[in-house]
Structure 1
Amino acid sequence: MLRTPVNERRLHILEWLKEPARHFPPQRRADLVEDGVTADTVAAKLGVHRRVADTHLALLTDLGLLRAKRIRLRTYYRRDEMRIAEVARMFEKGW
């Protein structure tokens, strides 16, 4: 995690997913809070191609900061609040 460069787009994604209903439009097949948002939705909000959003979402998922959930043919991403709190505690302790 410490070797991963901080990126403004990834920070925005994490911030937006704190309150997904505030930052993203409603979805037909999934609940924004319970299930998360798709890479297409994140890409539209960031103003980038889906592949760029996929890369950021995959990295955040690999770090354990996001959880991915498949519903039909799409993957939905939401924050893993327990893991984020755990990481925050490690940094507060001065690691």
Structure 2
Amino acid sequence: MYLFPMSDRIEQTKALASEARMKVLDWLKEPLRHFSHQETGDPAEIGVCVTLIADKLGMSQPTVSRHLELLRRADLVEVNRIGRWSFFSRNEAGLSDYRNWLHDNL
């Protein structure tokens, strides 16, 4: 049993159709390796600050926030808000569900 209807699966697929978003998902697999310089807290525990992701991508924060919002709406990342800061991590359950659906339907 899958969590999403087909229309949402199409949106998830679209969310993955971006080199920048794929890089973010890859980096978030190993947040300590890619963002060990985060001073606010352990990136493996609280997620990675959007500012650090923007710096690593070489993009503006508003552009990266849009990319992250698409991934969040697709249930592929989670956001942890602490004060006025947003920290992002992979949503492994959502990624696994999408992976299983893709495997079963291709």
With normalisation by structure 1, the TM-score equals 0.92
Equivalent-residue separation in structure 1 for 2:43 and 2:102 (angstroms): 29
1:92 aligns with 103
Task: Say if 2:48 and 2:87, in contact at 8 Å, map to a contact too.
Answer: yes
| Residue among 4, 7, 10 paired with 1:2 | 10
Give the Å deviation of 1:23: 1.0
Question: How far apart in 1 are the matches of 2:55 and 2:26?
Answer: 16
Distance (Å, rounded) in 2 between the aligned partners of 1:72 and 1:40:
15
2:80 maps to what in 1?
69
Counterpart in the other structure of 2:58: 47
Instruction: Report the AA paired with residue 104 of structure 2.
Output: K
Task: Report the AA paired with residue 7 of structure 1.
Answer: S
- Distance in 1 (CA, whole Å) between partners of 2:76 and 2:60 is 22
Find the structure with the greater CA-based Rg.
2
In structure 1, C-alpha distance between the alignment counterparts of 2:39 and 2:56, rounded to whole Å: 18
Shift in Å, 1:71: 1.1
Identity %, equivalent residues: 31
- Whether 1:20 and 2:68 are equivalent positions in the alignment is no
The RMSD of aligned alpha carbons is 1.4
Q: Which amino acid aligns with 2:34?
A: H
Matches within 5 A, 1:29-44: 29-44=40-55
Work out whether residues 26 and 32 of structure 1, in 8 Å CA contact, stay in contact via their aligned partners in 2: no
Q: TM-score, normalised by structure 2?
A: 0.83
* Correspondence for 2:22: 11
State the 1:29 CA deviation: 2.2
Cα deviations by residue, 1:61-85 (Å, 9 ceiling, x for unpaired): 1111000011122010000001101
Aligned residues: 95
